[in-house]
A and B are shown apart, each in its own frame.
Chain A
Protein backbone atom coordinates (compact mmCIF):
# COMPACT_ATOMS: atom_id res chain seq x y z
CA UNK A 1 0.00 0.00 0.00
CA UNK A 2 1.46 3.34 -1.05
CA UNK A 3 0.29 6.75 0.08
CA UNK A 4 0.74 10.43 -0.74
CA UNK A 5 0.75 11.69 2.83
CA UNK A 6 4.31 13.04 2.64
CA UNK A 7 3.64 14.78 -0.69
CA UNK A 8 0.39 16.32 0.55
CA UNK A 9 2.01 17.41 3.79
CA UNK A 10 4.99 19.00 2.06
CA UNK A 11 2.72 20.78 -0.42
CA UNK A 12 1.15 22.51 2.57
CA UNK A 13 4.52 23.23 4.18
CA UNK A 14 3.60 21.25 7.25
CA UNK A 15 6.09 19.43 9.43
CA UNK A 16 5.45 15.89 10.60
CA UNK A 17 4.96 17.36 14.06
CA UNK A 18 2.29 19.77 12.80
CA UNK A 19 0.37 16.98 11.11
CA UNK A 20 0.79 14.69 14.10
CA UNK A 21 -0.59 17.37 16.44
CA UNK A 22 -3.60 18.01 14.21
CA UNK A 23 -4.33 14.29 13.82
CA UNK A 24 -3.65 13.64 17.52
CA UNK A 25 -1.04 10.97 16.88
CA UNK A 26 2.69 10.90 17.54
CA UNK A 27 5.23 12.32 15.08
CA UNK A 28 6.75 8.85 14.78
CA UNK A 29 3.37 7.52 13.70
CA UNK A 30 3.14 10.11 10.93
CA UNK A 31 6.64 9.11 9.84
CA UNK A 32 5.73 5.41 9.93
CA UNK A 33 2.65 6.06 7.78
CA UNK A 34 4.60 8.15 5.28
CA UNK A 35 7.28 5.50 4.89
CA UNK A 36 4.71 2.70 4.62
CA UNK A 37 5.86 0.91 7.77
CA UNK A 38 2.48 1.39 9.42
CA UNK A 39 -0.91 1.05 7.78
CA UNK A 40 -3.36 3.32 9.61
CA UNK A 41 -6.76 2.19 10.80
CA UNK A 42 -9.77 3.13 8.71
CA UNK A 43 -10.78 5.98 11.09
CA UNK A 44 -7.27 7.45 10.95
CA UNK A 45 -7.04 7.01 7.18
CA UNK A 46 -10.39 8.77 6.80
CA UNK A 47 -9.18 11.56 9.09
CA UNK A 48 -6.04 11.96 6.99
CA UNK A 49 -8.13 12.14 3.82
CA UNK A 50 -10.48 14.70 5.36
CA UNK A 51 -7.53 16.72 6.64
CA UNK A 52 -6.15 17.13 3.13
CA UNK A 53 -9.60 17.51 1.53
CA UNK A 54 -9.20 14.28 -0.43
CA UNK A 55 -11.04 11.00 -0.70
CA UNK A 56 -9.28 8.15 1.04
CA UNK A 57 -8.46 6.45 -2.28
CA UNK A 58 -6.78 9.64 -3.45
CA UNK A 59 -4.36 9.43 -0.53
CA UNK A 60 -3.86 5.69 -0.20
CA UNK A 61 -3.25 3.46 -3.21
CA UNK A 62 -3.00 -0.28 -3.72
CA UNK A 63 0.42 -1.37 -4.92
CA UNK A 64 0.42 -1.58 -8.68
CA UNK A 65 -2.23 1.09 -9.14
CA UNK A 66 -1.65 4.69 -10.13
Chain B
Protein backbone atom coordinates (compact mmCIF):
# COMPACT_ATOMS: atom_id res chain seq x y z
CA UNK B 1 0.00 0.00 0.00
CA UNK B 2 2.68 2.45 0.98
CA UNK B 3 5.90 2.80 -0.89
CA UNK B 4 8.75 4.53 0.84
CA UNK B 5 10.67 5.06 -2.37
CA UNK B 6 13.85 3.57 -1.02
CA UNK B 7 15.74 0.77 -2.64
CA UNK B 8 16.98 -2.11 -0.61
CA UNK B 9 18.76 -5.42 -0.90
CA UNK B 10 21.29 -5.78 -3.65
CA UNK B 11 20.72 -2.30 -5.05
CA UNK B 12 23.43 0.29 -4.88
CA UNK B 13 21.69 2.44 -2.30
CA UNK B 14 21.05 0.54 0.91
CA UNK B 15 19.40 1.98 3.98
CA UNK B 16 21.82 1.80 6.85
CA UNK B 17 19.52 0.61 9.56
CA UNK B 18 17.87 -2.74 10.04
CA UNK B 19 15.06 -3.76 12.34
CA UNK B 20 15.74 -5.71 15.52
CA UNK B 21 14.53 -9.03 14.07
CA UNK B 22 16.92 -8.55 11.15
CA UNK B 23 19.78 -7.60 13.50
CA UNK B 24 19.01 -10.65 15.64
CA UNK B 25 19.07 -12.85 12.56
CA UNK B 26 22.44 -11.44 11.49
CA UNK B 27 23.88 -11.84 14.99
CA UNK B 28 22.73 -15.43 14.97
CA UNK B 29 24.41 -15.96 11.60
CA UNK B 30 27.73 -14.44 12.76
CA UNK B 31 30.47 -17.07 12.75
CA UNK B 32 32.73 -15.01 15.04
CA UNK B 33 35.70 -14.85 12.69
CA UNK B 34 36.59 -11.31 13.88
CA UNK B 35 37.21 -10.06 10.32
CA UNK B 36 34.92 -7.05 10.79
CA UNK B 37 36.80 -5.88 13.87
CA UNK B 38 40.16 -6.38 12.17
CA UNK B 39 39.03 -4.22 9.24
CA UNK B 40 37.62 -1.49 11.48
CA UNK B 41 39.62 1.77 11.55
CA UNK B 42 37.66 2.98 14.58
CA UNK B 43 38.33 0.10 16.96
CA UNK B 44 40.89 1.35 19.44
CA UNK B 45 41.08 -1.48 21.91
CA UNK B 46 40.85 -5.21 21.77
CA UNK B 47 37.24 -6.28 22.19
CA UNK B 48 36.02 -9.73 21.32
CA UNK B 49 33.32 -10.39 18.79
CA UNK B 50 31.28 -12.58 21.13
CA UNK B 51 31.07 -9.81 23.74
CA UNK B 52 30.06 -7.33 21.04
CA UNK B 53 27.42 -9.71 19.66
CA UNK B 54 26.06 -10.43 23.12
CA UNK B 55 25.70 -6.77 24.04
CA UNK B 56 24.45 -5.51 20.68
CA UNK B 57 20.87 -6.72 20.90
CA UNK B 58 19.90 -6.27 24.55
CA UNK B 59 21.17 -6.20 28.10
CA UNK B 60 23.74 -3.96 29.74
CA UNK B 61 26.50 -2.44 27.59
CA UNK B 62 30.05 -2.68 28.94
CA UNK B 63 32.47 0.26 28.83
CA UNK B 64 34.72 -1.09 26.00
CA UNK B 65 31.73 -1.89 23.78
CA UNK B 66 30.16 1.53 24.47
CA UNK B 67 33.47 3.22 23.70
CA UNK B 68 33.73 1.28 20.47
CA UNK B 69 30.15 2.19 19.50
CA UNK B 70 30.83 5.87 20.17
CA UNK B 71 33.96 5.85 18.04
CA UNK B 72 32.38 3.91 15.16
CA UNK B 73 31.74 6.29 12.26
CA UNK B 74 29.71 4.02 10.01
CA UNK B 75 32.28 3.94 7.22
CA UNK B 76 31.18 0.43 6.25
CA UNK B 77 34.72 -1.00 6.18
CA UNK B 78 33.46 -3.93 8.24
CA UNK B 79 30.92 -5.10 5.66
CA UNK B 80 33.16 -6.15 2.78
CA UNK B 81 35.48 -8.53 4.71
CA UNK B 82 32.62 -10.51 6.29
CA UNK B 83 32.81 -14.04 4.84
CA UNK B 84 29.08 -14.63 5.39
CA UNK B 85 27.89 -11.25 4.07
CA UNK B 86 26.63 -9.72 7.29
CA UNK B 87 26.21 -6.01 7.97
CA UNK B 88 28.11 -5.13 11.10
CA UNK B 89 27.40 -1.43 10.48
CA UNK B 90 23.66 -2.08 10.83
CA UNK B 91 24.26 -4.03 14.03
CA UNK B 92 26.35 -1.17 15.38
CA UNK B 93 23.57 1.23 14.45
CA UNK B 94 21.08 -0.63 16.62
CA UNK B 95 23.60 -0.59 19.47
CA UNK B 96 23.91 3.19 19.06
CA UNK B 97 20.13 3.64 19.01
CA UNK B 98 19.94 1.66 22.24
CA UNK B 99 22.60 3.85 23.81
CA UNK B 100 20.88 7.00 22.58
CA UNK B 101 17.54 5.89 24.01
CA UNK B 102 19.04 4.82 27.30
CA UNK B 103 20.74 8.20 27.57
CA UNK B 104 17.41 9.95 27.08
CA UNK B 105 15.68 7.91 29.71
CA UNK B 106 18.15 8.93 32.39
On whether the two chains bind one another, the answer is: no
